[in-house]
Amino acid sequence: MPRYDLPKAAPEPLRRVQLLLNSCDVHGEAEWLPEWLAEQGLAGAQLERARELREALRTLVLANNGFPLDRAAVEVVNGAAARVSLRLEESGELRVQADGDALDAVAAVVLGAMLDGSWGRLKACRNCNWSFYDYSPNRSATWCSMQICGNRAKTRAYRRRRRV
């Protein structure tokens, strides 16, 4: 799993989706997906399905940053969504429920977050592509951590201005 915890960890159950998204360090070229699968009790045979879902969800998270939505990613998520069910509770609340494995549970959490509006707060850092939860009131956060990525971006901008 991720080798460090972010200051902007998503609340449960969206945190489970964030952990899947962060099972790959793009810049460090580290892959933790096999470990994530093992923690979820899934076999290595699910590796390709998990990788496909993770990459589709990463694309959807980038859409939360304002990037265009990718049709292939939507198809992958729709395929995962077909494995979960939508139920009306006695309280009148809609509930997305997974009856399958951990990947189905992730899909159910994603769909539930889309229904309740919290999905738009899950974003990808502009600097490192790490997934983080945007706690800002106006949903304008752009970095996973101001102390790490925000500082790096501001330092680069400062040095660029000083060179000119």
Which residues lie closer than 8 Å to 77 by C-beta, 6 or more apart? Answer: 53, 56, 57, 60, 107, 110
Neighbours of 162 (CB within 10 A): 7
For position 144, what pLDDT does the model report?
86
pLDDT in tens, the chain (164 residues): 455 566 789 999 999 999 999 999 877 788 999 999 999 999 889 999 999 999 999 999 999 988 999 999 999 999 999 999 999 999 998 889 998 999 999 999 999 999 999 999 999 998 888 899 999 999 989 888 777 787 777 888 788 888 87
Could you tell me where the DSSP H helices lie in 66-147? 71-81, 102-116
Averaged confidence pLDDT in the chain: 90
Write down all domains in the chain, each with its CATH number in brackets: 14-163 (1.10.3300.10)
Neighbours of 73 (CB within 10 A): 20
The percent of residues above 90 in pLDDT, for the chain, comes to 66
Partners of residue 24 on adjacent β-strands: 31
Angle of helix 102-116 relative to helix 71-81, nearest 10 degrees?
110
CA-angle at 76, arms to 140 and 39, nearest 5°: 80
Which residues lie closer than 8 Å to 95 by C-beta, 6 or more apart? Answer: 86, 87, 88, 89, 112
Distance CA 86, CA 22 (A): 27
Report CA 42 to chain centroid distance, whole Å.
19
Report CA 68 to chain centroid distance, whole Å.
16
Q: Smallest Cα–Cα separation from 54: which of 32, 69, 85, 27? A: 32
Neighbours of 29 (CB within 10 A): 7
